[in-house]
Amino acid sequence: MNNNKPVLMNRTLSEWLSSLPVLLLLLLTLVIGTGEMFHGQLLRMGERMFGDPSRNIQYFMLRADPVKPDCDPNQDIEAAVAAQTAAPAAVSDDPLDALFADEPQDPDAVRASLEQAKVLCAEKHVMYDGIMANIDGKLKAFRALETGFFSIFKFGTENRPLLLMVMFAIAAVTTTLGVHHIGLRPPRYKIDFKVYGVSMVVANALALYSCWFYYNNVLLTSGIEVEKPILNYLTIALFAGLTAISAWRLVKPAPGAEEGGSPGMALLSIPLYAFMAITSSITFFGEQHFAGLAIYLGQLFEYSNIFLNLALYIWAGMLLKQTRVVNLFLDIVRPWKFSPEVLTWIILLAAAIPTAYTGASGIFVIAAGAIVYKEVFMAGGRRQVALAAAAMSGSMGVVLRPCLLIVLIAALNKQVTTNELYGWGVGVFLLTSTLFLLMAMATRESGAPAREKVVFGDALRGSLRALVPVSPYIVITLGVVWGYSYFLDTKLDEFTAPVMLPIIMMFILIFDKIRREPKAEAVKHNPAAERRVGLEGAVRFATNETIGHIGALIMLMALSVSVGGVIERSGMMEAVPEDFGSIWIALTVLMLILFFIGMIMDPFGAVILVSATIAPIAYSNGIHPVHFWMIVLTAFELGYLSPPVALNQLLTRMVVGEQEMDAADAEVRHKSFYYRYERWIMPVVIMALGLILVTYGGQMIVEHGAEWTAALGL
């Protein structure tokens, strides 16, 4: 959004080439997602409007003009019998044909056959006449709408991988041009940008070679026709383009880069996806498996529906960021003047709901992490606690309905269902949220200011007043959900949430902009002016942000799958014994392995790896499947908060900004070790305790839950 860039119709060139196409692809994805339910309703409507039960004519018979039967309903049966019986038998020179010579035809049998055919022919003509009688202008207009919509829906359903590839390519190019890939620290100094650029050139060049080798030396030589080769062409073109862009960025000095820095710290600027691509390629190439990286990148297209839903979730999160919803909901809590610790706990409880609906922990951190940080800090919380809360705001809701990650787990593992996982997830959520409150209270600094006295009546009236401006947003949400239920016979659940949430957020955004938030108020809550006042600007800005996050997150996820491939091919999983002899030993070893995987891999790629390698070992050792996946999710969340990667911490740093991070470090420089590193230690300790309790306490529940329930009379 640089004002120095040339603009056309108030749009920069990058917006015309990236934002508009991605917006259209997102809308097309919504059409495809809504298509099945909407098309089903159109078919039911067509049946009610145009079906003719008296003639046994249904709408599906009217969807296309029928072909007139070519038989004769007035055929002369006796003449046909005479002609057929009088016809000479076929003569063949082959003596073997004599073995199968036709017997003399029975006139009565021929007559019966022809009479039956005449009856069927008459029925066909009656049906044809009935269908033609029901085809009028109204039907033609309706079926044109229905079949046209079906064609779009069918095209999108059959070409989901292609849609994902195009969207991913645009987002990846935009993210690379903008130097927005996720790393341990953003490049700041000139040496940082050099190291960043070299790593990007090497990583993309290795991916380019692997994709080229896979297509030319594996697919084309296999003797099997390549299905949808355009995906391979686009992948090769994408990494060729990314290599060229990275080389150009390396040669051209970064504007605003500072002098100074050190080579050691510059290594931390290497994007995580580049690090994964380089290390995976070194392993694969060392084994002469040059196509390895491309093969694992192909997992992206095998689960294209999941990743398209993830893109919709990201877009919904960015649309949420353009509204006042979060600030208005916090206004309900502010009159009670809770202590920073309790307020932080309440915010985390509330954040769990949108986290579950956005499908992955990182998305909510991106969408609302900065707001969470600001609210905790403004309430008197330490900056380090505020940063910890922002990082954890996306962690606790991943076990709640309708989290997309659990849908993927249930799809890959027939031993569990989404209902079972969500049921156990409520218990895990209550456990980890309670642990946060206890630790926040236990680590409260002595000498902290006392909580201001609150008059119950005043606080209640303040909350009720704050509820008034929030109520329209609640009504809009319920209205959209009701509309889907009434008109499309579809409820909001884990399968429909990716489609319904962007629609809900779009209606909320429209209403929010109609109310016209005063610019002074917008700037007060939003100093960086990230929330646009107008509707068009808000949608455009949200889409721009979505592109960057799609490019960064999906690229990271795609390469994370390749890391899983390295682990799978390394034989590490084969080294894990299939029978530990004790379920407690099995729980301990697998818990540590899962924590390690969560530290280095993206959740979606990690779930694919665990489903193929570790889950069968857990089941064979007697670990309850639902219990095992609760351990997996808790271990992953601990991994996302733990060094060396700590993805949620990196995303928090990205949305809060380097200045706040520097201020947070300066604020505690003179304090003890715990308070200097509280933003790291607090989340890790809480989730580690949660993981231990879920692992061992969960096994106790599996073994003795029925006995305890009976003893309590429940």
Domain ranges of the chain: 159-302, 305-444+455-711
CB count within 10 Å of CB 222 equals 9
What is the C-alpha end-to-end distance of the chain, expressed in Å?
A: 60
Q: What is the pLDDT of residue 92?
A: 54
| 258 phi/psi in degrees, rounded to 5 | -90, 155
Contact 261, 188 (CB under 8 A): yes
Local mean pLDDT, 10-residue blocks, the chain (714 residues): 57 81 91 81 87 81 88 84 71 55 70 87 89 89 88 84 93 90 87 94 96 94 87 95 94 81 89 93 93 89 85 87 84 87 87 75 75 82 91 85 86 92 93 93 75 84 93 95 89 85 93 74 52 79 88 85 83 80 94 91 84 92 95 92 85 85 90 92 95 96 83 68
- Is residue 638 a contact partner of residue 595, using CB atoms and an 8 Å limit? yes
Burial of 709 (0-12, 13-18, 19+ CB in 10 A): exposed
pTM: 0.82
The kind and range of the H/E element at 158 are helix 137-158
Nearest in space to 476 (alpha carbons), one of 438, 503, 439, 513: 503
State phi, psi for 148 to the nearest 5 degrees. Answer: -65, -45
Sequence-distant (≥ 6) Cβ neighbours of residue 576 within 8 angstroms: 589, 590, 593, 614, 617
- pLDDT of amino acid 552: 86
Q: Report the pLDDT value the prediction gives residue 228, as an integer from 0 to 100.
A: 85
Tokens 């990667």 sit on residue: 645
473 and 508 in contact (C-beta within 8 Å)? yes
Cα–Cα dist 641/638, whole Å: 5
pLDDT of residue 3: 46
Cα–Cα separations (whole angstroms), residue 307 to 47, 255, 304, 451, 602: 35, 34, 5, 46, 13
CA–chain centroid gap for 403, Å, is 9
Is the Cβ–Cβ distance between 379 and 338 less than 8 Å? yes
Structural contact between residues 690 and 435, judged by C-beta atoms closer than 8 angstroms? yes
Token readout for 551 is 């490019």
Angle at 274 between CA 270 and CA 279, to 5 degrees: 105
Tokens representing 632 are 């997996």
* 22, burial (CB in 10 Å: exposed 0-12, middle 13-18, buried 19+): buried
CA-based nearest residue to 517, from 327, 655, 371: 327
CB 335 within 8 A of CB 452: no
CA distance 617 to 587: 11
Q: Is 148 exposed, middle or buried (0-12, 13-18, 19+ CB in 10 A)?
A: exposed
